[in-house]
Amino acid sequence: MSTRPDAPTRGARRVVPVHEVNAQIKGRVLNVFDQAFWFNPLVRAVLIIGAAILFGIAVTTPLEVWQQALFSIIMFVAALVIRRVAGQFAVVSLIVLSVTASIRYMYWRLTSTVGFVDPLDMVLGWGLVAAELYALTVLLLGYLQTAWPLKRKPIPMPADNSTWPTIDIMIPTYNEPLNIVKLTVFSALALDWPADKLNVYVLDDGRRPEFKAFCQDVGAGYITRDNNLHAKAGNLNWALARTSGEFVAIFDCDHVPTRSFLQLCMGWFLRDKKLAMLQTPHFFFSPDPFEKNLGTFRSVPNEGELFYGLVQDGNDLWNATFFCGSCAIMRRGPLLEVGGVAIETVTEDAHTALKLSRAGYNTAYLGIPQAAGLATESLSAHIVQRIRWARGMAQIFRVDNPIMGKGLALGQRLCYANAMLHFFYGLPRLVFLTAPLAYLIFGAQIFQAPALMIVAYALPHIFHSSLANSTIQGRFRHSFWNEVYETVLAWYIMRPVTLALINPKAGAFNVTAKGGVIDQAFFDWTMARPYLVILLLNFVGICFGIVEFVGGDVDARTTIVVNLVWALYNITIACASVAVAAESRQLRTTPRVSASLPATIMLNNGKTIVCRTTDFSQQGLGITLPQGVTVPTDQDLHVCVFRGEEEGVFPATVVYSKGQTLGLRLDKLDLQQQSKFAQITFGRADTWAENWGHASVDTPLGALREVSLIGMRGMKLLSRSLYGASRTKISTSLANRSSVSKR
């Protein structure tokens, strides 16, 4: 073996540039064990043509029901066996099986099931086909995007920090409260970077005097303008014209960077001179409305984790990392070259990255959370934010379509296309949620094929794609949750996306409200309306179906059962979506972060108690005391929190004491203490990385149970709210009646 230095080493991925391989091929006998063999153009052509022929046969060969069933079972067993093998090869194999099953289904669907005669059948039938084609396209593009995540590692900075570049940190803000912005500014000022090469600027579009005073006190720059044109993008561009650092790091005002952010991220810029933008994950220390209302914080991967955990890493392979507006670094030169931050659309970030890619610059993604922020707090705020993203992506699709235009490689075009197509899920999702009703209620034959045949073709398509996605997405998205997330948003993003497609210029920029308080748990009836309609429709459909099953044609029973199962699934998903609309109470205006940090309590008599924190917020700390030690409430004391050898001491009062658990309120910290507290808690480099991608790995059946349980909870919540609402109504009407009778 040692005579073949170019043999790929087991485990390590050694990529040999093509020109090198071609040089090796010359004058050598071809050997199938050589990597060079597989790079031979002739070998490749033969293989590709052979594979295409085999694929064509696998997709197009018509089979009887039992043959198709047998073929499906063999394929599925193969997939289950492959799934047990770890590694990228297994993933790619599962993708191949899934693509085969899905294309075979779609081929059959388009050739054998669309012989519609009745006009109603035709309209509804082709509607479903269109939705399915959309889903298939997104599925295939998704595979391309996520099959091989790059998993880039940080590059260390050179030891001599006199060669390090200058960086401007920009923190745009508009209407967010000062105490939230403070945290970000303190942490930005404490970034590990030579002080003379780091400038922190607060870009205040709210032009608030207390912000100006604060910036002066702590030594941050403060930039304002006399208008708010183009919102955040305009704000950034205004500041770009007034600063001069070689690099610009952008943080939303509620994204708190950890001290290591710059040192971990900047290495790649020194290595790759064409690198114009590096993005890191958006990590949230507070639960988003899904997590809050469903009680799934840190146990089920949230909506964003798939994107930052997998999709961005996959994009990176294709040099198509998206800029997400915050927690990212950009090289000033290229940014100015493309005209600064894009202002044509409401998702200025993604559009800016697209322009940089078109201009021939590289982008990168580093999947280590180096900053954390506040998630949207209520369902309505969450929906407003997603509407903006969806609108923006549709706008880019119109004004600067990535499939067209110059400067992009094919991989980049496809990644961007998928990102935009993804946001068109609204209508197709609603089609899937109502499709079984076509048959159950209207008796429309939207599938012109026997029920068993449909099952034999459609199930492999569904099962293989679930299995492949579950394997790829494992820790970042649990099965079926995608349906829940999409169902919650589908109705709301459908209209703005369609409008933006028709007229990209319509509409205004929305700012997401953050840091709010929900005084009382309530059911958001307004927001839940679409899911309730879907729920009701499917419920009616099931009633129709049962009646038909009992009293109708015996031959149609299989078809009825298929549609009933589908409707039942839709009800489960709709119920889970309903549960999201039950807003739970949120009292704290600043969120609490769970963290076990070494700490010490210093009592006023000079005694000390070594302990650990359970959580921290800007205003206080939770403490666990050692066994048998107690501290009474209302005591003034000092609390030390440690980060390695570093230590912060803060005055505090005991506001809660029960057994070994203490609640401390931090008392009137001065600016220096506030800054220290931010550095030693929110700014810790290790805080967020520990929680990243550590959700339990997906098992499809486990996830189905999860979603079903949440669905049942939604049903319970709904009936309780209905009961409550009807009681209020009855009592009001009774009261009215009694007052009438008194008259």
Partner 1 sequence: MKIVAVVSAKGGVGKTTVCANLSAALGLRGHPVLAVDLDPQNGLRFHMGLGTEAAEGIAAATLARRNWREVCVQGPPGVSVAPFGPMNESLRVAFEHVLANDPAAIRRQLGYIGLPADTIVMLDTPPGASIYMRQALTCADMVLVTTLTDAASYATLPTMHELIHHYCGGSGNFVGYAYVLNQVDRSRELSRDITEMMRADLGDRIAGIIHQDQSVAEALAFNRNVLEYDEHCRATHDFIQCAAWIGAQLQSQVTAS
Least separation, in Å, of the C-beta of 667 and partner 1? Answer: 13
Contacts to partner 1 from residues 216-235, by CB under 8 A: none
Q: To the nearest whole angstrom, how small is the minimum distance from the Cβ of residue 217 to partner 1? A: 18
**DSSP secondary structure string for all residues of 365-382:** E--S--EEEPPP-SHHHH
Contact call for residues 255 and 370 (beta carbons, < 8 A): no
Q: Which stretch binds partner 1 (CB under 8 A): 473-481, 548-556, 639-647, 711-719?
A: 639-647
Give 385 or 613: the residue with its C-beta nearer to partner 1: 613
> How many Å apart are CA 77 and CA 82, to the nearest integer?
9
Residue of 92, 640, 704, 712 that binds partner 1 (CB under 8 A): 640
Nearer to partner 1, 546 or 649 (CB): 649
Nearer to partner 1, 179 or 630 (CB): 630
DSSP string, 293-345: HHT-TTTS--HHHHIIIIIHHHHHHTT-PPP-SSSEEEEHHHHHHTTSS--SS
Name the residue nearer to partner 1 (CB basis): 526 or 605. Answer: 605
In the set 605, 738, 739, 741, which binds partner 1 (CB under 8 A)? Answer: 605
Instruction: Give 140 or 639: the residue with its C-beta nearer to partner 1.
Output: 639
CB 338 within 8 A of CB 356: yes
Nearest distance in Å: CB 148, partner 1? 42
Helix extents (H) in 113-207: 119-146, 178-189
Which parts of 296-335 interact with partner 1 (CB under 8 A)? none
Name the segment binding partner 1 (CB under 8 A); options: 316-324, 326-334, 498-506, 607-615: 607-615
- Residue 77 as a binder of partner 1 (CB under 8 A): the answer is no
Question: Which pair of tokens denotes residue 169?
Answer: 């940190």
Q: Of these residues, 121, 168, 205, 252, which one is catalytic?
A: 205
Residue 15: CB minimum distance to partner 1, A: 40
**Selected binder of partner 1 within 13, 606, 739, 741 (CB under 8 A):** 606
Query: Is residue 213 part of the contact set for partner 1 (CB under 8 A)?
Result: no
517 binds partner 1 (CB under 8 A): no
CB-CB neighbours of 729 under 10 Å: 10
Q: Give the residue among 624, 614, 682 at the shortest CA–CA distance from 648.
A: 682
**Dist. CA 420–CA 145, nearest whole Å:** 13
Q: Is 671 in the site for partner 1 (CB under 8 A)?
A: no
Closest approach, Cβ 651 to partner 1, in A, equals 8
> Residue 501: phi, psi to the nearest 5?
-65, -40
Residues whose CB falls within 8 Å of the CB of residue 105, separated by 6 or more in sequence, listed in order: 457, 458, 460, 461
If binding is defined by CB under 8 A, does position 607 make contact with partner 1?
Answer: yes
The residues that bridge with 663 in the sheet, in sequence order, are: 622, 656
Number of C-alpha atoms within 13 angstroms, CB side, residue 579?
Answer: 26
35/600 with CB nearer partner 1: 600
> DSSP string spanning 220-267?
-EEE--S--TTHHHHHHHHHHTT---SEEEE--TTEEEPTTHHHHHHH
- Of the candidate residues 16, 629, 655, 722, the single one contacting partner 1 (CB under 8 A): 629
- 631 touches partner 1 (CB under 8 A): no
User: What is the rounded distance in angstroms from the CA atom of residue 430 to the CA atom of residue 510?
Assistant: 25
Binding partner 1 (rule: CB under 8 A), the pick from 152, 612, 638, 665 is 638
d(CA 118, CA 430): 23
Q: Does 667 bind partner 1 (CB under 8 A)?
A: no
Pairing of strands 371-373, 283-284: parallel
Sheet holding 275-279, edge to edge: 221-223, 198-204, 167-173, 247-250, 328-331, 275-279, 362-365
602 in contact with partner 1 (CB under 8 A): yes
Closest distance of CB 250 from partner 1, Å: 31
In the complex, the smallest distance separating the C-beta of residue 90 from partner 1, rounded to whole angstroms, is 43
Does residue number 626 form part of the binding site for partner 1 (CB under 8 A)?
yes
Contact segment (CB under 8 A) with partner 1 among 470-478, 515-523, 597-605, 709-717 equals 597-605
**Cα 450 from Cα 113, distance rounded (Å):** 9
Contact call for residue 54 and partner 1 (CB under 8 A): no
Could you say whether residue 609 binds partner 1 (CB under 8 A)? yes
Q: Using DSSP, state whether 601 is helix, strand or coil.
A: strand
How far apart CA 355 and CA 396 sit, in angstroms, is 11
One character per residue 547-586, x = contact with partner 1 (rule: CB under 8 A): ----------------------------------------
C-alpha to C-alpha distance for 4 and 1, rounded to whole angstroms: 6
Among 213, 229, 610, 722, binds partner 1 (CB under 8 A): 610
Which of 511, 556, 563 lies closest to 538 in space, CA to CA?
Answer: 563
Instruction: Give the active site residue among 168, 254, 313, 349.
Output: 349
The answer to whether 288 touches 382, Cβ cutoff 8 Å, is: yes
645 binding partner 1? (CB under 8 A): yes
Cβ closest to partner 1, residue 612 vs residue 665: 612
By CB under 8 A, tell whether 600 contacts partner 1: yes
Q: Does 670 interact with partner 1 (rule: CB under 8 A)?
A: no
- Six token digits for residue 546: 């049962």
359 binds partner 1 per the rule CB under 8 A: no
Count of helices and strands (H, E) across the chain: 25, 19
- Distance of alpha carbon 385 from alpha carbon 376, whole angstroms: 8
CB-wise, 438 or 637, nearer to partner 1? Answer: 637
For 135, phi and psi rounded to 5 degrees? -60, -40
Q: Give the residue with the Cβ less far from partner 1, 551 or 606.
A: 606
Rounded to the nearest whole angstrom, what is the least distance from the CB of residue 398 to partner 1 in the complex? 57
CB 696 within 8 A of CB 299: yes
Q: For the chain, first and last CA: distance in Å?
A: 104
Of 210 and 645, nearer to partner 1 (C-beta) is 645
Tell which positions 524-543 bind partner 1, by CB under 8 A: none
Cβ-based nearer residue to partner 1, 521 or 629: 629
Give the pair of three-digit tokens for residue 412. Answer: 């980049």
Cα distance between residue 273 and residue 160, in whole Å: 19
Identity at 294, one-letter amino acid code: L
Task: Report the distance separating Cα 180 and Cα 374, nearest Å.
Answer: 9
Q: Considering the complex, what minimum distance in angstroms separates the CB of residue 267 from partner 1?
A: 24
Among 177, 647, 709, 721, binds partner 1 (CB under 8 A): 647
> Known catalytic residue: 349?
yes
Q: Which stretch binds partner 1 (CB under 8 A): 185-193, 367-375, 525-533, 647-655?
A: 647-655
Which residues sit at the interface with partner 1, rule CB under 8 A?
A: 600, 602, 605-611, 626, 629, 638, 640, 645, 647-649
Active site residues: 205, 349
